[in-house]
Amino acid sequence: MSTPRHPRTARTSSGLHVPALDRRSFLGLSAAGLGALALSACSGPSTAQGTGPSSASALDFSGVKPAGKITMWSNHPGGSQDVEKSMVEAFNASQSDIEVSLVTAGANYEEVAQRFQTALAGGGLPGLVILSDVWWFRYFINDSIIPLDSILETVEMDTDDFRPSFFADYQYDDAQWAVPYARSTPVFYYNKEHWAAAGLPDRAPETWEEFGEWAPDLAAAGTGTQKVFHYPDMAGYAGWTFQNNAWGHGGSYSDGWVITIDEKPVVDALEWMRKGVNVDGWAGVTSNDQATDLSSGAISATVSSTGSLVGILESASFDVGVGFLPGGPAASSPVCPSGGAGLGIPKDITPEEQVAAATFLKFLTSPENAVAFSAATGYIPTRQSADVSELVTAAPQIQTAIDQVEVVRVQDYARAFLPGGDKAVADGVGRVLTQDEDPQAVLTDVRKRLEDIYASDVEPLLA
């Protein structure tokens, strides 16, 4: 198991087989492309009324027999309903002790979270529930999910085989609170024809500064684009991907619970972005979806989830390049954030139901099923031992995304752990890029907002 992260003192203002794949079948696997990563900026239902997490000491499941029936709640990320249904059916057919039912609990992570909160008060909880990277911690502090260490040992799950950075995303207080499931990272996408027209080397830029030097050549290449580059929609990915820029400049949103988003490195990163949009004019902010903008030829490059890959490949009439996220003047690695969703087990169900859920969880996240889920959605296989050869043969670009996982960085507390933290960051980035406000003043406002969230919604529950 990866080393858990620990809190700091806060500065506050107060059995399924993978089908053989070719390029055509790979591109046709999901109507949503390779699975859109549903990272909404909504703050969603409040968790502030909770009493705080219980002790993370090991629970004892020895001698507990699994319940005969449980449900799994999912929003089917990346159009995964069919493959999830197949995995549930395969599990039910593989044994006769546990019957799992798949429940569509919402259209996105926020709707699932709202239904889960309602069930916490009214009953009808699932055995397994899907929780995004910005949702699971809310249910940890609200004492609504169990630490998984003991129960995963009980069902003999090989947790060492999970990709370490993905597994570490769900660790706090020396315990594991969820297991990675639908996981992705952002990558740098570019139009190889535009690169050639501009006389650029066929690769992603190593740093954002290098890309800034390339941008005038791309703008002058006569490719007919609206802009050279589009940033993500502020309502979605901005809080996720801006971590890359902040880390590359040597900054961060937070250091543990200490909010650092308004310190000079992060301000410098946002100022660099502001100039590209509002001074030099080669960059813009998408009014739709940056992956669609790229595949239509409206821009030459963008940053988007690995879940955008199949949609881009299917729609583009040009060769698509894929590269690691660029670094910055202070750091080139690790500057790529992880993202996506995991699966947790509710606290207020019976131990028998919890053991049944863990038994199914072991099956669901096996290396074989991790590949099957990836093939159907585009999320990165969560298991290190997963055989990805057919995936890579069908779409070689996915190898870049898989390779980048080795240098993925666990997200900052300020985004992943603070309820509404993602939205607070995205709102601030939007003010600078779309309204041309001063980065220092805006990020100071964001810091105060994040500190208020910590002081009101998190710190009292951790005390």
Q: What is the pLDDT of residues 93-140, one digit of tens each?
A: 999 999 999 999 999 888 999 999 999 999 999 999 999 888 899 999
What are the structure tokens assigned to 353, written together? 């139901």
Q: What is the mean pLDDT of the chain?
A: 88
Claim to verify: residue 74 and residue 222 sit in the same structural domain? no
Q: Is 47's pLDDT higher than 90? A: no
Claim to verify: residue 208 and residue 139 sit in the same structural domain? no
Kindly state the average pLDDT of the residues 69-74: 98
CA-to-CA dists, residue 48 to 44, 117, 133, angstroms:
12, 12, 18
Start-end of H helices in 200-346: 208-219, 238-248, 264-278, 290-295, 309-315
Question: What DSSP line would sit under 171-200, residue for residue?
Answer: EETTEE--EEEEEE-EEEEEEHHHHHHTT-
The model's confidence at residue 185, banded by pLDDT at 50, 70 and 90, is very high
The model's confidence at residue 262, banded by pLDDT at 50, 70 and 90, is very high
What are the structure tokens assigned to 98, written together? 């546990």
DSSP tally for the chain: helices H, then strands E: 20, 16
Percentage with pLDDT > 90 across the chain: 74
pLDDT digits (tens, 9 = 90+) for 336-391: 998 889 999 999 999 999 999 999 999 999 999 999 998 888 789 999 999 999 98
| Predicted TM-score of the model (pTM) | 0.84
Kindly state the average pLDDT of the residues 44-54: 52
CA distance 300 to 309: 15
Task: Please name the residues in contact with 58: beta carbons below 8 A apart, sequence gap of 6 or more.
Answer: 147, 149, 150
Could you tell me if residue 347 is inside a domain?
A: yes
Could you tell me if residue 200 is inside a domain?
A: yes
The model's confidence at residue 20, banded by pLDDT at 50, 70 and 90, is very low
Q: For residue 3, give the nearest of 157, 256, 175, 154 by alpha carbon.
A: 175
Claim to verify: residue 380 and residue 263 sit in the same structural domain? no
Answer whether 267's CB lies under 8 Å from 439's CB: yes
Kindly state the average pLDDT of the residues 48-74: 80
Could you tell me if residue 311 is inside a domain?
A: yes
pLDDT digits (tens, 9 = 90+) for 316-341: 999 999 999 999 999 999 999 988 89
CATH at residue 178 = 3.40.190.10
Could you tell me if residue 295 is inside a domain?
A: yes
The model's confidence at residue 236, banded by pLDDT at 50, 70 and 90, is low
What are the structure tokens assigned to 267, written together? 């301000």
3-state secondary structure of 254: strand
Host domain of residue 147: 29-184+340-386
Could you tell me if residue 406 is inside a domain?
A: no
Claim to verify: residue 215 and residue 310 sit in the same structural domain? yes
Count of domains observed in the chain:
2
Task: Please name the residues in contact with 362: beta carbons below 8 A apart, sequence gap of 6 or more.
Answer: 152, 155, 156, 157
Q: Is 292's pLDDT higher than 90? A: yes
Could you tell me if residue 393 is inside a domain?
A: no
> Which pLDDT score is estimated for 311?
81
